[in-house]
Amino acid sequence: MAVFACAGKSLRVGESAPLTDKAGKVFGTRYQLADKSERLVIDEDQNGVPEKQYIFADEVLTSSEHFYPDGKIRVRTMYLRGNANRSEVYRPDGSLQGVAYHNGQDGVDAVDLPGKKRRVEFLRTR
């Protein structure tokens, strides 16, 4: 994942500022949600439809979302102490396709497939 920096500009709650790359090109917006909570919306082509969104609390990533080109959510990942904990994958129609449960290290422990009413668990052989 990319590292985000906002040129050291501190914002007050409710304010926003553009995210720019080293060349000065705007690729998203930073929103200050609370004193130690912010949301970064990545919109590379600046068409008003975000590609990604990240939420930080106390400078630790708490959730990320990736979107389809029409703006509907594709993947939502929740983090626990900065490590991926649970990812929800959605179909283009908005229905839930599956849920992956991360082990906090290097992989996934289980996947729920609601459409098939099944859960697949992975065993570690190392």
Nearest-10 Cα torsion for 81, 106, 96, 59: 20
| Cβ contact 121:112 at 8 Å | no
Question: From the CA atom positions of the chain, what is the Rg in Å?
Answer: 17
Sign of dihedral through CA atoms 48, 49, 50, 51?
A: negative
CA angle 28, 31, 33 (to 5 degrees): 155
CA distance 9 to 12: 10
Q: Give 125's pLDDT tier (boundaries 50, 70, 90).
A: low
Instruction: Express each pLDDT in 40-84 by its tens digit.
Output: 999 998 898 999 999 999 989 999 999 999 999 999 999 998 888
Q: Give 115's pLDDT tier (boundaries 50, 70, 90).
A: confident
Domain ranges of the chain: 11-58, 70-126
Q: What is the DSSP letter of 1?
A: -
pLDDT at 56 (0 to 100): 94
